[in-house]
Each structure stands twice: as C-alpha cells, then as structure tokens.
Amino acid sequence: MAIVQVLKNAQEVARAAAAFIAQRINANPKLVLGLATGSTPQGTYGELARLHRSGNVSFAAVTTFNLDEYLGLGGDHPQSYRFFMNENLFNKVDIDPAKTHVPSGVARDPAAECANYEQAISAAGGVDLWLLGIGQNGHVAFNEPGSAADSRTRVVDLTEDTIAANSDGRFFSRAEDVPRKALTAGIATIREARSLLLLATGEKKAAALHHALDQPPTLDCPASLLQAHRDLTIICDEAAASQLRAR
C-alpha cells in the first residue's frame, strides 16, 4: 500500500523528503541509499546539504547508487548525472566518494558495466531506500513505457518525449545534444529496494502520477509497476496531486 503525502509546493516537498531521508540515515548510518537526478530532487539535495551543515545528518558511512546515466557522457561532462550528483549533493556532504556509485556512461563495455552495477548493489546488501522521480510519460529512471517488470540494469533507447523534456533548457538546450541512449537500473532493480520514496512536483506530473497510482499496473506507465511495493511513500505537491483520486 502506498502512502501519499500531499504538500503545498515543491519547497515543502524538498523539506519533507530531506527529513525523511535524514531520519533513515540517522536510524541506520550505513544506509544504502538509491538516488535520482532531475529537477525534482534538486531541492531535496539542497535541504540534505543544509541538514548536514547544521550537524543533523552525516553521510560518512552511507553508500549510494544512482538510477541512471547517459551513454557517452563522462563524469566531467556538465550534463552527466555523475556531475549533477557531485554538484548537488556529494561535494556538499561528508560522503566518501568511493561509496558513491553512478553507472559509467563511458565504460568500454556498457553491457558489462550494467552487470557489474547489479553485482555492486547485491554486494552492498541491496538498496535500503531508493529516492525516485517520475517522468511526464510515467518513466522511472530511464525505464520508458514498455519496460518489462523484471528488467534489470541495461542500456536503453530514450523516447522522443523524454529527449524533448530534457532539452527544455533546464539541462540541455537543444534536443540534438541529448544522448539517445542511457544506462538505467531496471524496474526489478528498483522494486527490490526495501523502501521507495517517489517525489513529484508540478502540474506537468499530474497525469503521470494519476496513471501510476490510480490505475491498474501497466507496462505503458512504468511507475505503475511500483504500486504493489510493500513500502512505497509518495511525497508530492498539490499541483502534481491535482488529478489523483481522492483518498
């Protein structure tokens, strides 16, 4: 059963999400934490950095695994997800860089990189809590519509709508610059996390969130495949919740 918390705006979502994550770290300093990129979690990372500065949370023993990375972008490329994570969180807290994992977009053998990523997650004991966003088309990480429920970390093609969504000037300014492929954790990889925390903000996510939570699970909406998870929390703002069935 999913727990849905609806807050006024994105800032409140960021505060609540950061408090949720910090509380999990404080309960288990060796937490294995799954992370996401995109505009949605940016505020949460800012809040976590603030909580760290004020002495309210330490990442010293935390291990992280990110969801995805663009194929072809190295960690020094400003639009790579590794770069995003360094800038938004890792450089601002006391995490050991060796304990942060993002699939490499420039691995010589991307399929082997994906298999190694799954192994690294297993070797760490699995993910305790995975922070997630949702795409306007219902994608989770880069699991686009049609992704199998038992999918694992792999190389995928991005859809035109995801390329368009990510080239609206927030990250890339031209669709031609967005890589066409990515490495992504699969739906099964994500579902195996012991807890999931999905964030959604803004009206553009309202239809996807409605589809993900109010309708029977379908491959057309990858996020809906997470519905049956036994520990799924959704924190969203009023705009993203505007099409949700009353609960």
Catalytic residues, by residue number, are 68, 137, 139, 144
- The encoded tokens of residue 216 equal 């029977």
Q: How far is the CB of 67 from ligand GLP (least distance, A)?
A: 5
- Name the β-bridge partners of 130: 34, 196
Site for ligand GLP contains 141 (CB under 6 A): yes
Q: How far is the CB of 142 from ligand GLP (least distance, A)?
A: 5
Q: How far is the CB of 163 from ligand GLP (least distance, A)?
A: 9
Q: How far is the CB of 141 from ligand GLP (least distance, A)?
A: 5
Nearer to ligand GLP, 108 or 174 (CB): 174
Return the range that interacts with ligand GLP (CB under 6 A); candidates 10-18, 123-131, 135-143, 214-222.
135-143
Site for ligand GLP contains 206 (CB under 6 A): no
Binder among 39, 86, 116, 227 for ligand GLP (CB under 6 A): 39
Q: Say if CB 181 and CB 215 are below 8 A apart.
A: no
Site for ligand GLP contains 137 (CB under 6 A): no
Residues 5 and 9: their CA atoms lie apart, in Å, by 12
| Contacts of 123 by beta carbon, 8 Å cutoff, 6+ apart | none
Binder among 16, 36, 213, 232 for ligand GLP (CB under 6 A): 36
Residues 28 and 13: their CA atoms lie apart, in Å, by 23
Reported as half-sphere exposure (CB side, CA atoms, 13 A), residue 182 has a value of 25
* Exposed/middle/buried for residue 76 (C-beta within 10 Å: 0-12, 13-18, 19+): exposed
Return the range that interacts with ligand GLP (CB under 6 A); candidates 33-41, 111-119, 121-129, 209-217.
33-41
Site for ligand GLP contains 38 (CB under 6 A): yes
State the CB neighbour count (10 A cutoff) for residue 12: 17
| 149 to 168: interface string for ligand GLP, x by CB under 6 A | -------------x---x--
What separation in angstroms does the CA of 163 have from each of 42, 135, 239, 244?
A: 19, 11, 23, 26
Q: Kindly list the residues in this chain that would bind ligand GLP in the complex (CB under 6 A).
A: 36-40, 67-68, 133-135, 141-142, 162, 166
